Amino acid sequence: MATRHILLVEDEAPLREAVAEQLTDRGFHVEQAASGEAAIDRLASFAFDIVITDLRLGGGADGTAVLDEARAIYPDIIGIIVTGYGTVKDAVEAIKRGASDFIQKPFQFDELLHIINAALEQRRLRAENAYLRKQLEERYKFEGIIGKSIAMKELFALLETVAQTSSTILVTGETGTGKELVAEAIHEHSARSSGPFEVLDCGSLPPNLVES
């Protein structure tokens, strides 16, 4: 497994250094920041996998500002908020703003480690699901038409073939079978795709107007 990079933001030096040491022993690469401002500077220069930040920090930038900056630069970053007594409500608000989880002081290191591993696993599953969805769409989709039966695969092959021609194409089928979707898919894959796709509902027009 690739080394995970953590930005640990905590203004209490003894706690920060103790947690950093234990995370390093577990195989993480840890960078420390003693203030929100220092953390934001680090975020601008490196793509961390995880940011763990105390909610209350000395100086102008608190943990919420660090989290907002981190997610603005790296939308998939895992944000974990550390909160003291009386600030749990603020931590819950941080969850709503995109933090993965929060942990309340004082905490056991194993509890923090569990939160980190759970968040990493959740991110892995999201990435895996997104990849599988993309693969399925590529395999069983033709410009808005989705299917994986033999008949649909044959239809996709036929549409790809006829879309390359300049011939007039008649699409037939019963009402509700997707004739307009097929016509649009052919248009999108043709040399005329940059032009407009116009739909004319002949059934709603008088016969003499259709003829003209």
Which CATH superfamily, name and number, covers 5-135? Response regulator (3.40.50.2300)
Q: What's the CATH code, domain 143-211? A: 3.40.50.300
Q: Where are the beta strands (DSSP E) in the chain?
A: 5-9, 29-33, 50-54, 78-83, 101-104, 141-142, 145-146
Q: Collapsing DSSP states into helix, strand and coil, what is residue 92?
A: helix
| Averaged pLDDT score across all residues of the chain | 85
Locate CATH 3.40.50.2300 in the chain. Answer: 5-135
Q: What is the DSSP letter of 4?
A: P
SS (H, E, C) 56-83: CCCCCCCHHHHHHHHHHHCCCCEEEEEE
Residue type, 20: A
Per-residue pLDDT at 140: 41
Q: By the 8 A CB rule, do 52 and 60 touch?
A: no
Output the pTM of the full model: 0.63
- Provide mean pLDDT across the span 4-22: 96
- Provide mean pLDDT across the span 71-82: 93
Locate CATH 3.40.50.300 in the chain. Answer: 143-211
Per-residue pLDDT at 34: 94
